[in-house]
């Protein structure tokens, strides 16, 4: 997963002192739609390198002045994530292999074919684009409190119709004061959605106060929510402000609201109706301007019908409902999310990024994901750390076609959709390079072209998106 963050197009810095080789390499790349800046020496190319530069370096090892090997550590010192590809003569291969241990992305041995050059550069460009997108995402998240509006696609990641509907619902509700109920299985990202509702609202400059109702002892729940006065009970040595009051003019997020004791549900209902609280031990009403967002993994309407949850409270908090789809119902988002989590894990653990091969991606697509996005993130962390992936790699492919609800398309349709997702992901990975995608998928190029035609995959759009 690459997040939908805005990053400039990637350019190739081509450093080669042989004019014929430089021109030939430049033309080969430009014919494939790759932007190239050619230079005859390191000294001429230096100014194009800086931290965060949207570039890939293709540099000859032997150059007049500073050599490619000498320049490599200087570039990585400025930005260790810039892919640096060395072009070597036959006698320099062992030297280049050693340079890869020192941080070089790859090396190309002379003489090389145009296809090999383009394929290597495309992989490096894809990696650089992903790194810059993740860095842009981190910058956006760090500046959340000072930014009026964020690109919601950089937070709620996914191209599926289900996630697009979630984003549209959030943007429609964010500017209102309506209380919201978020429903979703464990691990679907309920708190992330609640934060988006807050961050895209006029309340974003005030507090977002999360509270897990399942972690509240019943005897302290009232004080936790509404506060208490000094001396109101034995351990109340000083006045305490409750969560409602702390979230004044902001948002109170009540997670796992289905676990809230019935006695507290009654008091919560009154607060939502009157929009004022009384601290424990006080008779003074305090007006509050607090938006309430609740989340539940249980069907509260059904619970209310069975008298396991107060029906009047349900209808009060469920003025608006956001339903989060489980990951198994939006499998087309798995490649995007997994790439994103692998990049984040590589940065967090200071490890080399590991991308899934076609076999692992098929297993990820086939897994049932009972832990949803949280489980997917856990698997990405384990992959980056080189740990066993457990039940994911043992998941039978038949799970990918298992029906999830009445009216689900038949096996043939689901297998075709599964195939379309894998092919599209491979093409995106290689920025529309059909030959490289065919190699990744381990199918002949004519077979891949035939499948693309039958599935209606438009490679020109994929190239534009890349």
CB atoms within 10 A of CB 107: 20
Q: How confident is the model at residue 404 (pLDDT cuts 50, 70, 90)?
A: very low
Residues 319 and 353 placed together within one structural domain of the fold: no
The pLDDT assigned to 143 comes to 58
CA 59 – CA 321 distance, rounded (Å): 55
- Would residue 286 count as lying in a domain? yes
Domain end marker among 324, 353, 378: 324
Percent of the chain beyond pLDDT 90? 51
Q: Using DSSP bridges, classify how beta strands 35-39 and 11-15 pair: parallel, antiparallel or unpaired.
A: parallel
The pLDDT assigned to 451 comes to 86
Domain end marker among 283, 303, 324: 324
238-273 tens-digit pLDDT: 888 889 999 999 999 999 999 998 889 999 999 999
Residues 166 and 302 placed together within one structural domain of the fold: yes
**Paired tokens of 236:** 């109340």
Buried b (16+ CB within 10 A) or exposed e, 406-425: eeeeeeeebeebbbbbbbbb
Residues 96 and 122 placed together within one structural domain of the fold: yes
Residues 54 and 131 placed together within one structural domain of the fold: yes
**Paired tokens of 81:** 């994530």
Q: What is the mean pLDDT of the chain?
A: 85
Given a contact cutoff of 8 angstroms between Cβ atoms, the answer to whether 86 and 96 are in contact is yes
59-102 tens-digit pLDDT: 999 899 999 999 999 999 999 999 999 998 877 778 878 888 88
Q: Name every residue whose Cβ is closer than 8 Å to that of residue 12 and which is 6 or more positions away in sequence.
A: 29, 34, 35, 36, 37, 55, 56, 57, 58, 121, 125
349-402 tens-digit pLDDT: 999 878 777 778 888 888 889 999 999 999 999 999 989 887 776 544 444 334
**Paired tokens of 123:** 């992989």
- Would residue 148 count as lying in a domain? no
Given a contact cutoff of 8 angstroms between Cβ atoms, the answer to whether 387 and 379 are in contact is no
What CATH code is carried by the domain that includes residue 214?
Answer: 3.40.50.300
E strand or H helix that includes residue 74: helix 68-78
Domain end marker among 81, 114, 142: 142
Higher pLDDT, 465 or 315: 315
Q: Does 120 have pLDDT greater than 90? A: yes
221-237 tens-digit pLDDT: 888 899 888 877 777 77
Q: Does 299 have pLDDT greater than 50? A: yes
Q: Which residues pair with 59 in a beta bridge?
A: 15, 86
Q: How confident is the model at residue 214 (pLDDT cuts 50, 70, 90)?
A: confident
Q: Does 7 have pLDDT greater than 60? A: yes
Higher pLDDT, 135 or 322: 322
The pLDDT assigned to 465 comes to 60
Task: Measure Cα distances from 190 to 166, 329, 331, 383 in Å.
Answer: 11, 16, 18, 25
Domain range for 190 is 161-324
Q: Name every residue whose Cβ is closer than 8 Å to that of residue 375 and which is 6 or more positions away in sequence.
A: 187, 327, 369
332-349 tens-digit pLDDT: 889 889 988 998 999 899
Number of domains composing the chain:
3
Residues 301 and 353 placed together within one structural domain of the fold: no
Buried b (16+ CB within 10 A) or exposed e, 85-94: bbbbeeebee
- Would residue 155 count as lying in a domain? no
Percent of the chain beyond pLDDT 70? 89
Q: Does 147 have pLDDT greater than 90? A: no
72-81 tens-digit pLDDT: 999 999 999 9
Residues 286 and 338 placed together within one structural domain of the fold: no
Higher pLDDT, 419 or 402: 419
426-444 tens-digit pLDDT: 887 788 888 888 888 888 8
Residues 191 and 271 placed together within one structural domain of the fold: yes
Residues 165 and 291 placed together within one structural domain of the fold: yes
- Would residue 335 count as lying in a domain? yes
Give the SS3 label for residue 110.
Answer: coil
The pLDDT assigned to 381 comes to 93
In this prediction, residues 27-41 reach a mean pLDDT of 95
The pLDDT assigned to 230 comes to 81
Q: How confident is the model at residue 6 (pLDDT cuts 50, 70, 90)?
A: low
Residues 293 and 439 placed together within one structural domain of the fold: no
Residues 338 and 310 placed together within one structural domain of the fold: no
- Would residue 3 count as lying in a domain? no
Residues 239 and 138 placed together within one structural domain of the fold: no
- Would residue 392 count as lying in a domain? yes
Examine residue 111 and say whether the peptide bond preceding it is cis (omega within 30 degrees of 0): yes
The pLDDT assigned to 94 comes to 80
What CATH code is carried by the domain that includes residue 116?
Answer: 3.40.50.2300
């Amino acid at each position: 997963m690459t997040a939908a963050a805005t990053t400039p197009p990637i350019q190739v810095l081509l450093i080669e002192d042989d004019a014929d080789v430089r021109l030939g390499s430049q033309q080969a790349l430009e014919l494939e739609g790759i932007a190239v800046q050619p230079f005859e020496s390191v000294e001429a190319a230096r100014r194009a390198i800086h931290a965060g530069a949207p570039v890939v370096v293709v540099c000859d090892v032997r150059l007049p002045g500073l050599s490619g090997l000498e320049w490599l550590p200087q570039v990585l010192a400025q930005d260790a994530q810039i892919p640096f590809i060395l072009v070597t003569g036959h006698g320099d291969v062992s030297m280049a292999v050693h340079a890869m241990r020192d941080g070089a992305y790859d090396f190309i041995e002379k003489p090389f074919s145009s296809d090999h050059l383009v394929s290597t550069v495309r992989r490096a460009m894809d990696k650089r684009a992903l790194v810059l997108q993740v860095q842009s995402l981190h910058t956006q998240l760090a500046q959340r409190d000072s930014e009026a509006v964020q690109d919601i696609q950089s937070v709620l990641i996914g191209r599926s119709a289900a996630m697009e509907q979630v984003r549209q619902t959030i943007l429609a509700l964010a500017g209102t004061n309506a209380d919201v109920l978020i429903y979703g299985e464990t691990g679907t990202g309920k708190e992330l959605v609640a934060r988006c509702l807050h961050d895209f609202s006029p309340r974003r400059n005030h507090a977002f106060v999360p509270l897990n109702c399942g972690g509240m002892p019943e005897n302290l729940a009232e004080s936790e929510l509404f506060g208490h006065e000094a001396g109101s009970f034995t351990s109340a040595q000083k006045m305490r402000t409750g969560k409602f009051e702390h979230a004044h003019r902001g948002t109170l997020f009540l997670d796992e609201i289905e676990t809230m004791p019935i006695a507290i549900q009654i008091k919560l209902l009154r607060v939502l109706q009157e929009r004022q609280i009384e601290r424990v031990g006080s008779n003074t009403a305090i007006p509050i301007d607090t938006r309430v967002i609740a989340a539940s993994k249980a069907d509260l309407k059904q619970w209310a019908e069975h008298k396991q949850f107060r029906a009047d409270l349900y209808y009060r908090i469920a003025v608006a409902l956001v339903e989060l789809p489980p990951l198994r119902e939006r499998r087309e988002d798995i490649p995007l999310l997994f790439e994103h989590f692998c990049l984040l894990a590589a940065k967090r653990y200071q490890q080399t990024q590991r991308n899934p091969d076609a076999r692992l991606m098929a297993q990820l697509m086939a897994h049932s994901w009972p832990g949803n996005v949280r489980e997917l993130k856990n698997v990405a962390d384990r992959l980056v750390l080189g740990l066993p992936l457990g039940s994911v790699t043992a998941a039978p492919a038949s799970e990918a076609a298992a029906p999830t609800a009445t009216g689900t398309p038949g096996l043939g349709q689901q297998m075709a959709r599964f195939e379309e997702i894998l092919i599209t992901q491979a093409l995106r990975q290689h920025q529309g390079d059909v030959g490289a995608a065919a190699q990744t998928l381990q199918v002949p190029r004519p077979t891949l072209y035939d499948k693309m035609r039958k599935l209606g995959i438009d490679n020109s759009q994929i190239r534009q998106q890349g």
